[in-house]
Amino acid sequence: MIKLLLAEDQGMMRGALALLLGLEEDMEVVAQVATGDAIVPSALETGPDIALLDIELPGRSGLDAAAELRERLPSCAVLILTTFGRPGYLRRAMEAGASGFLVKDGPVEELAAAVRRVLAGERVIDPALAAAALSAGPNPLTARERDVLSAAADGSTVADIAGRLHLSPATVRNYLSAAIGKTGTRNRMEAVGAARRNGWL
């Protein structure tokens, strides 16, 4: 049996996926979690062969959890299953060690086939998204620029951001200015929006 862990914050979607995958003769859902924080502890406890992870989860992103799973439970492959087919997310998922990346609107048969292919050692990536990721190019933002943009997303002032990230206000302004330039936008909120659309945040 292929043992699966399912991380999805929407209860109805999680239940439906667990039910449908459980109907496959060679698959068993051994864990279901609703938050990103619960992924690694649950995986260490249940020892799944494959973790099916959403990206945008409460507490912690599926991408961060995927990177930690690779370190702490290398026997568990990761398949990202998301509503958000953003090129930057795909790139970050691959950097985190994910073996597959699919968008949720495909048929369940396709998902079951992807699970088997990942278990066989293949990489499975949504073809349209792979093409978009190649044309989009790499994430132009540095890690610090991403931190500052993320902190600016809730409308925080430069002083608030500086205090939270232990930077000087001048340094925060420099990072924001660089991020605005790299995203081709006019202000910090537009830069946040552009970065999110591309999956860079």
**Residues with Cβ within 8 Å of residue 96, at least 6 apart in sequence:** 63, 64, 66, 67, 70, 78
CATH code linked to domain 2-134:
3.40.50.2300
Question: What pLDDT, on a 0 to 100 scale, did the predictor assign at position 126?
Answer: 82
Enumerate the domain spans of the chain: 2-134, 143-197
| Whole-prediction pTM | 0.70
pLDDT tens profile 19-68: 999 999 999 999 999 999 999 999 999 999 999 999 989 999 999 999 99
Q: What is the pLDDT of residue 133?
A: 66
pLDDT at 135: 62
pLDDT digits (tens, 9 = 90+) for 156-185: 999 999 999 999 999 999 999 999 998 889
Kind and range of the H or E run holding 80: strand 77-82
Q: Which residues of 8-17 are buried (b: 16+ CB within 10 A; e: fewer)?
A: bbeeeebeeb
At position 176, the amino acid (one-letter code) is L
Which tops the pLDDT comparison, 68 or 200? 68
Does the domain at 143-197 match CATH 3.30.70.1140? Answer given as: no
